Protein backbone atom coordinates (compact mmCIF):
# COMPACT_ATOMS: atom_id res chain seq x y z
CA UNK A 1 0.00 0.00 0.00
CA UNK A 2 1.45 3.39 -0.95
CA UNK A 3 0.83 6.58 0.99
CA UNK A 4 -1.53 9.05 -0.59
CA UNK A 5 -0.20 12.28 -2.08
CA UNK A 6 -2.01 14.25 0.65
CA UNK A 7 -0.38 12.40 3.54
CA UNK A 8 1.69 14.57 5.86
CA UNK A 9 4.40 13.04 7.99
CA UNK A 10 4.48 14.10 11.61
CA UNK A 11 7.79 15.03 13.23
CA UNK A 12 9.05 12.78 15.96
CA UNK A 13 8.49 13.98 19.52
CA UNK A 14 11.35 15.39 21.57
CA UNK A 15 13.80 12.74 22.65
CA UNK A 16 15.89 14.81 25.05
CA UNK A 17 14.80 15.50 28.60
CA UNK A 18 16.14 18.59 30.31
CA UNK A 19 16.62 18.49 34.05
CA UNK A 20 15.65 21.58 35.99
CA UNK A 21 18.46 23.40 37.76
CA UNK A 22 18.45 23.13 41.53
CA UNK A 23 16.69 26.04 43.22
CA UNK A 24 19.86 27.02 45.03
CA UNK A 25 21.79 27.48 41.75
CA UNK A 26 19.94 30.69 40.89
CA UNK A 27 16.89 31.86 42.79
CA UNK A 28 14.57 34.43 41.25
CA UNK A 29 13.63 37.61 43.12
CA UNK A 30 10.68 39.83 42.24
CA UNK A 31 9.53 43.39 42.89
CA UNK A 32 6.49 45.41 41.85
CA UNK A 33 6.03 49.21 41.85
CA UNK A 34 2.53 50.71 41.67
CA UNK A 35 1.67 53.15 38.88
CA UNK A 36 -0.02 56.50 39.31
CA UNK A 37 -1.99 55.73 36.13
CA UNK A 38 -3.96 53.60 35.35
CA UNK A 39 -5.30 52.75 38.78
CA UNK A 40 -4.27 49.29 39.98
CA UNK A 41 -1.49 48.82 37.41
CA UNK A 42 2.16 48.22 38.25
CA UNK A 43 5.61 47.73 36.80
CA UNK A 44 6.92 44.25 37.61
CA UNK A 45 10.58 43.31 37.89
CA UNK A 46 12.45 40.02 38.29
CA UNK A 47 16.11 39.04 38.49
CA UNK A 48 18.28 36.03 39.30
CA UNK A 49 20.49 35.99 42.38
CA UNK A 50 23.09 33.44 41.25
CA UNK A 51 25.83 35.56 39.61
CA UNK A 52 28.08 38.21 41.13
CA UNK A 53 29.49 39.38 37.77
CA UNK A 54 26.31 40.92 36.34
CA UNK A 55 22.58 41.04 36.94
CA UNK A 56 19.89 41.06 34.26
CA UNK A 57 16.67 42.74 35.38
CA UNK A 58 13.51 41.78 33.45
CA UNK A 59 10.63 44.25 33.49
CA UNK A 60 7.02 44.58 32.35
CA UNK A 61 5.68 48.15 32.65
CA UNK A 62 1.87 48.14 32.71
CA UNK A 63 1.79 51.89 33.46
CA UNK A 64 0.77 54.51 30.91
CA UNK A 65 3.89 56.53 31.80
CA UNK A 66 7.61 56.14 32.37
CA UNK A 67 8.72 54.56 35.63
CA UNK A 68 11.99 55.28 37.43
CA UNK A 69 13.30 52.51 39.66
CA UNK A 70 16.27 52.59 42.02
CA UNK A 71 18.17 49.30 42.13
CA UNK A 72 19.94 48.63 45.44
CA UNK A 73 23.06 46.44 45.19
CA UNK A 74 25.08 45.07 48.10
CA UNK A 75 28.48 43.34 48.25
CA UNK A 76 29.40 40.55 50.66
CA UNK A 77 31.34 42.96 52.91
CA UNK A 78 28.33 45.26 53.33
CA UNK A 79 29.32 47.85 50.71
CA UNK A 80 26.29 49.28 48.91
CA UNK A 81 25.69 50.99 45.58
CA UNK A 82 22.64 51.95 43.52
CA UNK A 83 21.73 52.22 39.84
CA UNK A 84 18.78 53.92 38.15
CA UNK A 85 16.55 52.14 35.65
CA UNK A 86 13.88 53.96 33.61
CA UNK A 87 11.26 52.07 31.59
CA UNK A 88 8.74 53.51 29.15
CA UNK A 89 5.03 52.95 29.73
CA UNK A 90 3.51 49.87 28.14
CA UNK A 91 6.84 48.16 27.48
CA UNK A 92 8.62 45.01 28.56
CA UNK A 93 12.19 43.84 28.19
CA UNK A 94 15.43 43.48 30.11
CA UNK A 95 18.49 45.45 31.12
CA UNK A 96 21.87 44.04 32.15
CA UNK A 97 23.83 45.72 34.96
CA UNK A 98 27.52 44.91 35.39
CA UNK A 99 28.28 45.59 39.03
CA UNK A 100 31.02 43.08 39.87
CA UNK A 101 30.85 41.41 43.30
CA UNK A 102 27.49 43.05 44.07
CA UNK A 103 24.08 41.39 44.29
CA UNK A 104 20.79 43.16 43.64
CA UNK A 105 18.86 43.20 46.92
CA UNK A 106 15.77 45.31 46.23
CA UNK A 107 14.10 47.75 43.84
CA UNK A 108 12.36 50.92 45.04
CA UNK A 109 10.46 53.72 43.31
CA UNK A 110 12.32 56.78 42.03
CA UNK A 111 15.93 57.58 41.15
Residue 81 Cα distances to 1, 5, 58, 71, angstroms: 73, 67, 19, 8
Evaluate whether residue 4 is within a structural domain.
no
Evaluate whether residue 65 is within a structural domain.
yes
pLDDT tens digit string along 61-74?
A: 999 999 999 999 99
Q: How many domains does the chain have?
A: 1
Evaluate whether residue 17 is within a structural domain.
no
What pLDDT score was predicted for residue 53?
84
CATH code, domain carrying 46 = 2.60.40
The confidence band for 85, taking pLDDT boundaries of 50, 70 and 90, is: very high
Evaluate whether residue 70 is within a structural domain.
yes
Evaluate whether residue 98 is within a structural domain.
yes
Alpha carbon 101 to its chain's center: 19
pTM of structure: 0.73
49 neighbors 26 (Cβ within 8 angstroms): yes
Evaluate whether residue 6 is within a structural domain.
no
Beta-bridge mates of residue 102: 75
Q: Could you tell me what percent of the chain has a pLDDT over 90?
A: 66
Evaluate whether residue 35 is within a structural domain.
yes
The yes-or-no verdict on residue 13 having pLDDT over 60 is no
Evaluate whether residue 3 is within a structural domain.
no
DSSP 25: T
Amino acid sequence: MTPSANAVSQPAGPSVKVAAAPASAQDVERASLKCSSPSGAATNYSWGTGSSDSTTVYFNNHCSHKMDALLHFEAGGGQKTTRCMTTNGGTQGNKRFTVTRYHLKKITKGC
